Chain A
Amino acid sequence: MTPEIGQFALTLALAVAIVQSILPIVGASTGRVLWMESAKTTAVLQVTLVAIAFGALMRSFVVSDFTVRNVVENSHSLKPMIFKVAGTWGSHEGSLVLWTFILVLFGAGVALLGRNIPVGLKARTLSVQAWISVGFLSFMLFTSNPFERVFPPPLDGTDLNPLLQDIGLAMHPPLLYFGYVGFSIVFSFAVAALIEGRVDPAWARWVRPWTLTAWISLTAGIALGSWWAYYELGWGGWWFWDPVENASFMPWLLGTALLHSAIVTEKRDTFKSWTILLAILTFSLSLLGTFIVRSGILTSVHAFAVDPARGVYILGLLGVTIVGSLTLYAWRAPQLGSGGVFRPISREAGLLLNNLLLATATATVLFGTLYPLFVEAVTDEKISVGPPYFNATFIPFMLPLVIIMGIGPFLSWKRADLPGIWQRLRLVFGIAIGVAGIVWYLQTDGPLLAVVSIGIAAWVFVATLREWALRIKLFDLPLSQSLRRARNLPRAAHGMTLAHLGVAMLVLGFVGSTAWKEERVLFAEPGTTVEIAGFEVIFDGVERLRGPNYIAQQGQLRVLKDGREITLLRPERRNYPVAGTSTTESAIRSTLRGDLYVTISEPATEKASGQWNLRILYEPLVNWIWIGATMLVLGGSLSLSDRRLRVGAPSPKSRSSALQPAE
């Protein structure tokens, strides 16, 4: 019965979403409060119903109910429990349920938490949100039903993909979706504002917490995915410019631009149509990402054409959303009006430049991601656009961005005093040059760009600290007073400082682990010794082990530094007989200076028997990437907790006090 409850909950949710997509928005333009307020009921109903469906699907996975096709195809009775649970969102159908759940969760969030949002704007926003849920619920029910049944049920499921049996991956999609889909509510706010014809600082303030929430979780999701790739895939890289990765990275880039642009709208009542456009484009890229990942177009453009029902449906959704919202934008945006004026040297101008650089960088990633698909569709030729393209096009936009990031917070609104800023940043510039010089002295073999990049990272780091120090007048006042000032600083300000410092850490990690990476690939037999990055690694041989559902070949490597043994590394090659696949479990000695990373595999050729294929990597500073990403997330969360984002609704003037209920 459980699967049928889930199935019915989904159909009911679709019916409710249809009502929500019409009544509130019509109510807002005809002044019918009952209709506008119905959005609250329907938004809560939708989230409850989709949660029931998600729960029903999860239960089917947990108890291995093989009357549900989705469970048959994506689970197996021998899977450890946690991966049965994760199987709920591992499949195409299940991930759509999760997608929709997060969509309606954000809707319900606005309905319940947005007490300070005017009823008309809220009603319109929730109606737009419901348009999206109608699209996805119908997509799910008509082309990818998660509760399709099989009878009689097979004895066991068919999927035991061991690569997916990793806790990082199990948690990755929910977080990524949370960010991806979270931008839907920002999109809905933007479309509602266009329909209403009004964007002002108040609007920007109402939307900010939602943008921040989506941005934080997308940041965390991307970082977690990259961390998973690094530890689990065994390739020793943390970013591959893979289309699936790009699909989540593009909304992040534009979302970051949106976050900054919305601040200008909030503070200065300007950049209005730009903010709206970014909101629309960010979510459009989220949808495009969903399409790229979910339509199967990546495997082959032609495979997608052969079984088109799903792909065409989602392509249609994508088209309607993007074309529809952009048309509305073209029609209404000119009426939004421009706000405060500003000089070419000002905080506004700095943020504008930030927006332009981020948008251009997004465009280059988008081009690199879609180009192979076009080529394959037109010429039948499969090409791949890889890291060389992305590094050559993306980095030139990022370095200036990071340089400006150091100056930006010093600029004042409207007009800024450049000589004054130079005065305050001279020392910082000197330090950055000094750091670059020291790095160059220590590491002459790295590329020049790497040395420059480290200098830039130092520049942002010190400049951000300097700005914070100036705000609290550190060293100008007694320490106790400075600390009091620091306490009084709005949390959003601390959030910015922390996030910008995080970016400096990220650059450090990116550059270190790319430019000064050392790699040895070799055939080894017991006794082989390898020198890498000042370490001496001795291969002692291989042992066979039995795991719960796999057999492993575990290599043993002693790591010596200056003749002293410092650690023992045990990389594994795991063989899963039921699934007939193998995975690589790398062994890593992790320190802040860098990671020593070892993977092992049997040599492919017959004649090299008794020898093992070892891959040893030294990745300097790689852990700073995760530290930097954590700081971004913490900075965003700190900003989100700012009191100013929780401005209460006014206590209503009691006009007709006779009818007032005793609430």
Chain B
Amino acid sequence: MIWLVLGAMASITVLLFLSGLYRTGEVLNRKDGALVILKDQLSEIDTDQERNLISVTEADAARVEIKRRILAAGRLATRESSRASGRSTIFASAIATPLVAFALYSQIGSPQIESQPLASRASETQEAANLSELTQRLKTRLEADESGGPSDGWVLLGQTYMRMARYDDAADAFERVTVRDNADISTLLLYAEALIAAENGIVTPQAESVIERASEMDPDDPGPIFYRARILEQDGVPDEARTLLIERLKRADRAYPWMELFLSVANRLGEQVGESPVTLADFFPDSRDARSPGAADIEAAQDMSVEERSAFVRSMVDRLAARLLDDQDNLEGWLRLAEAYSVLGDFDAAQNAADNARTLAESLPETDPMRAAATARLDRINK
């Protein structure tokens, strides 16, 4: 459909171009054009004089001048021009124009993306509204809890806020847990991440102190190391940041999912300081299976052809499926798997994954916003 419309636009352009070949009529040359203006000026003087706007002597002087200009214009050499030659060039440019346009469009256009007016996305907006209402209810309940509310509840609230891009609210929620004695490293990292996201990616002193606290708990945890590298980069020492990441990669005993992220950041930093890129194979020569989709994969996918890309997506989905066999309680994972299969058109597999997700979702408490969100997503998959 889109190609039909674009093709029509291109064809009309070509036709308009070619219509020029059939244009007829006299053309106005420079000499005649100037003479018209000068004669008009002359008659203007007559009218002005008739209406007594200028005196006779003024009018006469002006007339002499204009007549002199008319004579000069009459001597203008005019170039012979004709319609006879140059038809083939017009024809060629008529053909070349849409070709150039299509060539350029194929580089920058995104014909596969449909437009989505907000009005046509009612279910999504409704879902967002529901989610935000449920989140509010959860927050009210946690706040009302005399013991301060369970840590899990606050973390869940914070994560939901993160997903809604309400980073300030998320940071507030995580903070409630981090001030408690039982705060673990992952909560601290979530808190730091929320603080950083709220400042559009800048690590504030407040976030830095949270990261330090996490680092003290376990200096070898990749989480704090990742953020410490971020701080170093922000301080203008990308080489140190890179070293920090690479050292941690070297200490690893086997391949982990977080490594892809480390590698992509290390390589980005390496580009700045002139180091050649590293890959997972540099650390674990035979660890291809451990890959999980990371930033590098997505980057790689952008350069692929359509067939390569679908094969790549397929392999990612299969890896996700394999991982979920070991991690049966991962609701988000099952949801994503179901969505992925339904996009790929494998509806049986999608149904299977969706059933697993539904079972998990129904085990959640009624008021949990995750439950409503999951149900909504499942409903969409079933459509």
Does the CB pair B24–A649 fall under 8 Å? Answer: no
Closest to B24 in A: A661
B82 and A63 form a contact (CB under 8 A): no
> B41 and A201: CB pair below 8 A?
yes
Task: Choose from A12, A34, A65, A147 the contact partner of B21 (Cβ within 8 Å).
Answer: A34
Is B114 in contact with A5, judged by CB distance below 8 angstroms? Answer: no
Contacts of B90 in A (CB 8 A): 23, 34-35, 38
In the complex, A201→B52 CA distance in Å? 24
Chain A residues 105 to 125 lying within 8 A of chain B, measured CB to CB, are: 116-121
Q: Is residue B278 within 8 Å, beta carbon to beta carbon, of the partner chain?
A: no
A30 proximity list for chain B (CB < 8 A) = 86
Give which listed residue, B83, B119, B128, contacts A63 with CB less than 8 A: B119
A14 to B101, Cβ gap below 8 A? yes
Contact with B along A523-552 (1 / 0, CB 8 A): 000000000000000000000000000000
Q: Which residues of A contact B111 (CB under 8 A)?
A: 4
Bound CA span A527–B198, Å: 43
Interface residues of B in 59-91 (CB under 8 A from A): 61, 65, 69, 73, 76, 79-83, 85-87, 89-90
Question: Counting CB contacts under 8 A, is B10 at the interface?
Answer: yes
A660 to B26, CA, bound (A): 9
Do A155 and B98 touch (CB < 8 A)? no
**Docked complex Cα distance between A23 and B97 (Å):** 13
Binding-face segment, B1-9, B304-312, B329-337, B350-358: B1-9
B140 close to A (CB within 8 Å)? no
Known: A37-B23, A40-B20. 20 other contacts (CB 8 A): A4-B109, A5-B2, A9-B9, A11-B100, A34-B20, A34-B90, A37-B20, A41-B20, A66-B116, A117-B28, A118-B33, A119-B28, A200-B34, A202-B34, A206-B37, A414-B61, A485-B53, A489-B53, A649-B28, A661-B24
Once the chains are docked, how many angstroms separate the CA of A18 from the CA of B100? 10
Q: In the bound complex, how far is the Cα of B38 from the Cα of A60, in angstroms?
A: 51
Q: Which 10 A-B pairs have the closest CB atoms?
A: A652-B26, A63-B117, A118-B33, A64-B118, A202-B34, A202-B37, A31-B81, A15-B100, A32-B86, A12-B101
In contact, B104 and A5 (Cβ under 8 angstroms)? no
Given contacts A8-B109, A14-B101, A34-B20, is CB(A45)–CB(B13) below 8 Å? yes
Chain A residues with CB under 8 A of B1: 1
Chain B residues within an 8 Å CB radius of A41: 16-17, 19-20
Known: A8-B9, A8-B101, A31-B82. A118 touches B118 (CB 8 A): no
**Contact B116 A33, beta carbon cutoff 8 Å:** no
Contact mask for chain A residues 57-78; partner B; CB cutoff 8 A; 1 contact, 0 none: 0001001111110000000010
Q: Smallest Cβ distance from B119 to chain A, in angstroms?
A: 7
- At the interface, yes or no: B363 with Cβ under 8 Å from chain A? no
Given known pairs A19-B97, A412-B58, the reply for A119 and B29 (CB within 8 Å) is: yes
Taking a contact as CB atoms under 8 Å apart, the answer to whether B38 and A202 are in contact is yes
Residue of B nearest to A41 (CB): B20
> Is there an interface contact between B89 and A35, defined as CB atoms closer than 8 Å?
yes
Residue of B nearest to A63 (CB): B117
B115 contacts chain A at the CB level, 8 A cutoff: yes
Q: Are B44 and A149 in contact (CB under 8 A)?
A: no
Residue B380, interface by CB 8 Å: no
Known: A8-B105, A200-B34, A202-B38. A19 touches B93 (CB 8 A): yes
State whether the Cβ of B152 lies closer than 8 Å to any Cβ in chain A: no
| Chain A interface, >50% SS class | helix
Chain A residues with CB under 8 A of B40: 644, 647
Please give, as numbers and ranges, the residues of chain B lying within 8 Å of A660 by CB-CB distance. 24-25
Whether A659 sits at the interface, judged by CB under 8 Å, is yes
Does B323 make an interface contact (CB < 8 A)?
Answer: no
B32 at the interface (CB under 8 A from A): yes
- Name B100's closest neighbour in chain A (CB-CB): A15
Say if the beta carbon of A650 comes within 8 Å of chain B: yes
**Of the residues B69, B80, B104, contact of A201 by C-beta under 8 Å:** B69
CA distance A60 to B116 in the complex (A): 9
Contact yes or no, A269 B69, CB < 8 A: yes
Contact between B5 and A35 (Cβ–Cβ < 8 Å)?
no
Chain B hits for A127, CB < 8 A? none
B110 within 8 A of partner (CB): yes
User: Interface residue tally of chain A, by bracket?
Assistant: 35 or more
A353 to B224, CA, bound (A): 71
Q: Is A447 an interface residue (CB 8 A)?
A: no
Chain B interface, number of residues (Cβ within 8 angstroms): 73
Given contacts A485-B51, A649-B28, contact A45 B33 (CB under 8 A): no
What are 20 A-B pairs at a CB distance below 8 A? A8-B6, A9-B9, A11-B105, A14-B101, A31-B79, A32-B82, A34-B20, A34-B86, A41-B19, A44-B16, A60-B115, A119-B29, A145-B108, A156-B118, A200-B69, A201-B41, A202-B36, A412-B58, A649-B36, A652-B28
Residues of A within 8 A of B (CB): 1-5, 7-9, 11-12, 14-16, 18-19, 23, 27, 30-38, 40-42, 44-45, 49, 52, 60, 63-68, 77, 116-121, 141, 145, 147, 149, 151, 153, 155-156, 196, 198, 200-202, 205-206, 268-269, 340, 412, 414, 471, 485, 488-489, 644, 647-650, 652-655, 659-661, 663
Distance, CA A270 to CA B322, complexed state (A)? 86
Separation of A340 and B61 alpha carbons in the complex (Å): 12
Docked-complex contact B25 and A64, CB < 8 angstroms? no
Q: Does B125 contact A (CB under 8 A)?
A: yes
Q: Is the CB of B105 within 8 A of A149?
A: no
Determine whether B96 belongs to the interface, using a CB cutoff of 8 Å to chain A: yes
A488 CA / B54 CA spacing, docked (Å):
12
Q: What is the minimal beta-carbon distance from B241 to any residue of chain A, in angstroms?
A: 19
B93 lies within 8 A of A650 (CB): no
Given known contacts A66-B118, A202-B37, is B32 in contact with A141 (CB within 8 Å)?
no
> Nearest-CB distance from A537 to chain B (Å)?
40
Contacts of B79 in A (CB 8 A): 31, 120
B53's partner among A1, A11, A38, A471 (CB-CB below 8 A) is: A471
Q: Assess whether B104 is in contact with A38, with CB atoms less than 8 Å apart.
A: no
Closest Cβ–Cβ distance, residue A309 to chain B (whole Å): 15
| B residues less than 8 Å from A67 (CB atoms) | 113-116
Q: Which residues of A contact B93 (CB under 8 A)?
A: 19, 23, 38
Question: Would you give the shortest CB distance from A461 to chain B, in whole angstroms?
Answer: 23
Chain A residue contacts of B10, Cβ below 8 A: 12
Q: Are A5 and B9 in contact (CB under 8 A)?
A: yes
Chain B residues with CB under 8 Å of A198's CB are 30, 76
Selected from B17, B38, B51, B118, the residue in CB contact (under 8 A) with A77 is B118
Quick check: B29 and A118 within 8 Å, CB to CB? yes
**In the bound complex, what is the Cα–Cα distance between A64 and B338 (angstroms)?**
29
Which chain A residues border B28 with CB–CB below 8 Å? 116-119, 649-650, 652
When distances are taken between beta carbons in the complex, the residues of chain A under 8 Å from B101 are 8, 11-12, 14-15
User: Which of the listed residues A19, A63, A116, A117 has the most CB atoms from chain B within 10 Å of its own CB?
Assistant: A19
Task: Tell whether B221 is near chain A: CB-to-CB under 8 Å.
Answer: no
Q: Which residues of B contact A5 (CB under 8 A)?
A: 2, 5-6, 9
Bound CA–CA A597/B6 (angstroms):
55
Expressed in whole angstroms, the minimum distance between the Cβ of A74 and any Cβ of chain B is 15
Does A663 contact B16, Cβ atoms closer than 8 Å? no
Quick one: which of B113-133 are within 8 Å of A by CB?
Answer: 113-119, 121, 124-125, 128
Q: Do B98 and A15 touch across chains, with their CB atoms under 8 A apart?
A: yes
B5: chain A residues within 8 A (beta carbon):
1, 5
Measured between alpha carbons, how far is A137 from B257 in the docked complex, in Å?
Answer: 44
| A16 to B65 alpha-carbon distance, docked (Å) | 44
A652 to B27, CA, bound (A): 8
- What CA separation (Å) do A149 and B105 show in the bound complex? 13
Contact B30 A151 (CB under 8 A): no
A644 CA to B41 CA, complexed, in Å: 9
A325 CB, nearest partner CB in chain B, Å: 21
Contact A202 B113 (CB under 8 A): no
Whether A1 contacts B114 by the Cβ 8 Å rule is yes
A535 shortest CB reach to chain B, Å: 45
How far, in angstroms, from A31 to B117 measured CA to CA in the complex? 51
Given A119-B27, A488-B51: A7 and B108 interface contact (C-beta under 8 Å): yes
**Is the CB–CB distance between B86 and A35 below 8 Å?**
yes
Question: Of A205, A485, A648, which is in contact with the most chain B CB atoms at under 10 Å from its CB?
Answer: A205
* A34 interface neighbour in B9, B83, B96, Cβ under 8 Å: B83
